[in-house]
Amino acid sequence: MEYSSIANGLFLISDINSDAAATISNVFDHTSMNTADLENMPTEKPVEYTKSPGHYYIVLPGQPNKYTAKIIINQLNASGETSDIATTTATSAYTTGLFTISAKYLVDDAFVINAGTGQEMTLTRIMDMDGSDYETFPVDVNQGPQTFTIVPQDQLLHATVNYKFADGTEAAPSAKLSGYAGLTTVSAKSPTISGYTPDQKEVAVAFAPTEKTYTVTYKANPTTPTATESSASSSTADEATTFTPFKIYGKRALYTYKNATFKKNQRVSHYAQKSKAYAPIFEVVGTAKSTSGHLRYKLADGTYVTANADYVGALYWQGMYQKLYVTNPKGTNAYDGTRFAQATKQKHYRQGTALTVVKQTQVGQTTRYELTNGTYVTGNKQWVSPTKPRLVKQVKVKRTIRLYRDVNGSTFIKRIKPGKTLTVTGWDYSHGRNPRLSGTLRYRVAGGYITANRQFVVAN
């Protein structure tokens, strides 16, 4: 069986084997082949297609190139000096393209870092048609000139930037940066957090044998006072400051209250502690303080909720992550661009899927993450997480359990006896949309849902 590959109307190597064909298809799925990385590969106009039995063609999508960036690849030697090994102009049809470099430069577990951002690049190994090994990594071709440095493992250094509120609680996940001694070009931009201003818009990061730690502190923006007739007529009224609304979710069981000073007889609504996928969401339109000085969030419905970070948190991830994992039982969609609509939907990712991220983008008060294929996914914590979930593939029944058609256990199907091994395809929680009930973890199996209680089933 023989294969040939076609991209952008050009032959991209003919008569390749099945392994090479699979590699090309996997690495360049949904991306343009017409990049500077591949400009030296032998291509020719297809004049006559081979029509012999058993010959197959892999047709890869191609798009006109729209983005260009100067890319410099250099290498750090044992003396701590860098030398350029490649300078090229990368072009791509998408904002993100895959840059290819020979694996011979990456011996002894060397790393590739972005010398401007401190990001450690995610490498994917591929094999060329002649058996040579290469490494690919994503490059944002829409960011202008960029330098990437190959750093030996024993010279790799790290630094951390922490993002805190004035009371010391976490404002956003810490940024973990990589570099080497003498690197002074790394700058960490402080994430945007609705309603707060950082004391440093960006941090110039240096690297040393002892890991350096930097801290950015966020202070709450002044709120707009409520307009009244008396304040409107007062010549001494404070100047109003615009407050940008943002969304939070509930981490634990909590109440909303009529006023900023919480009293039991002024409770409005109760919300149970839920899994993150079903946690209650609130829109914050202002801040206030109780008579004892505790910070409160004023919500869009006029009620108040605690601002304690143990009870509520920002709805969107703010940091830059190399990996995101789909955690929502419904999966999540990827879109062509940062404006999400049915017309721009490109792909659906199932729960448990690992996504490789190349860029974080802020769209108003929401966060979007660009993937290696140029599409975007939400940064909403109810759908994705940078923390890898525990993926249970199979369970063995310890005690008799029941199989239900729905996650709430309202439609019984059958009993399953001890000793039976079941394949698990996902997880969910009962009473997901009921804000008054916490919900219980269930495993999704063929035909419905079963308990995840360890007294009844054990994960293999």
The pLDDT tens digits of the residues spanning 372-420 come to 999 999 999 999 999 999 999 999 999 999 999 999 988 899 999 999 9
Question: Quick check: is 167 in a domain?
Answer: yes
Considering the domain architecture, whether residues 450 and 430 belong to the same structural domain is answered as yes
Considering the domain architecture, whether residues 330 and 303 belong to the same structural domain is answered as no
Considering the domain architecture, whether residues 328 and 270 belong to the same structural domain is answered as no
* Number of domains the chain is built from: 5
Counting Cα atoms < 13 Å in the Cβ hemisphere of 340 gives: 17
Whether residue 98 contacts residue 37, with contact meaning beta carbons closer than 8 Å, is answered with yes
The 10s digit of each residue's pLDDT in 282-327 is 999 899 999 998 999 999 889 999 999 999 999 999 888 999 999 9
Q: Residue 217: beta bridge partners?
A: 164
Considering the domain architecture, whether residues 307 and 328 belong to the same structural domain is answered as no
Q: Which of 204, 227, 310, 298 is nearest to 259 (CA)?
A: 298
Considering the domain architecture, whether residues 408 and 350 belong to the same structural domain is answered as no
Question: Quick check: is 43 in a domain?
Answer: yes
Considering the domain architecture, whether residues 298 and 253 belong to the same structural domain is answered as yes
End-of-domain residue from the set 351, 385, 419:
385
Tokens 């804000």 belong to which residue?
Answer: 435
Considering the domain architecture, whether residues 366 and 336 belong to the same structural domain is answered as yes
Question: Quick check: is 116 in a domain?
Answer: no
End-of-domain residue from the set 291, 314, 337:
314
Considering the domain architecture, whether residues 351 and 331 belong to the same structural domain is answered as yes
Rounded Cα distance, 54 and 422, in Å? 40
| DSSP of 291-338 | TT--EEEEETTS-EEE--TTTEEESB--S--SEEEE-STT-EEEESSS
Question: Quick check: is 84 in a domain?
Answer: no
Considering the domain architecture, whether residues 332 and 374 belong to the same structural domain is answered as yes
- pLDDT the model gives residue 50: 52
Considering the domain architecture, whether residues 251 and 303 belong to the same structural domain is answered as yes
Considering the domain architecture, whether residues 374 and 401 belong to the same structural domain is answered as no
* Residue ranges of the chain with per-residue pLDDT less than 70: 1-65, 93-94, 108, 126-132, 223-242
| DSSP of 13-43 | -SSB-HHHHHHHHHHTTTS-S-SGGGTTS-E
Let me know if 9 is exposed, middle or buried by CB neighbors in 10 A (0-12, 13-18, 19+): exposed
Q: Which domain holds residue 21?
A: 2-60
End-of-domain residue from the set 182, 204, 220:
220
Q: Which of 452, 429, 322 is nearest to 382 (CA)?
A: 429
Let me know if 104 is exposed, middle or buried by CB neighbors in 10 A (0-12, 13-18, 19+): exposed
Cβ neighbours of residue 433 closer than 8 Å, sequence gap 6 or more:
278
Question: Quick check: is 91 in a domain?
Answer: no
Question: Quick check: is 109 in a domain?
Answer: no
Question: Quick check: is 77 in a domain?
Answer: no
Question: How big is the CA angle at 387 (ends 384 and 388), to the nearest 5 degrees?
Answer: 95
Whether residue 283 contacts residue 312, with contact meaning beta carbons closer than 8 Å, is answered with no
Q: Which of 120, 124, 9, 146 is nearest to 68 (CA)?
A: 146
- pLDDT the model gives residue 43: 39
* Two structure tokens written together for 66: 């729209």
Question: Quick check: is 118 in a domain?
Answer: no
| DSSP of 81-112 | -EEEEEEEEEEESSSEEEEEEEGGGS-TT-EE
Pairing of strands 196-198, 246-250: unpaired
Considering the domain architecture, whether residues 304 and 343 belong to the same structural domain is answered as no
Rounded Cα distance, 285 and 266, in Å? 20
Question: How big is the CA angle at 190 (ends 184 and 191), to the nearest 5 degrees?
Answer: 140
Any alpha helices (H) in 45-157, and if so which ranges?
A: none
Find the CATH number of the domain harbouring 449. 2.30.30
- pLDDT the model gives residue 137: 82
Find the CATH number of the domain harbouring 209. 2.60.40.4300
Question: How big is the CA angle at 34 (ends 30 and 37), to the nearest 5 degrees?
Answer: 105
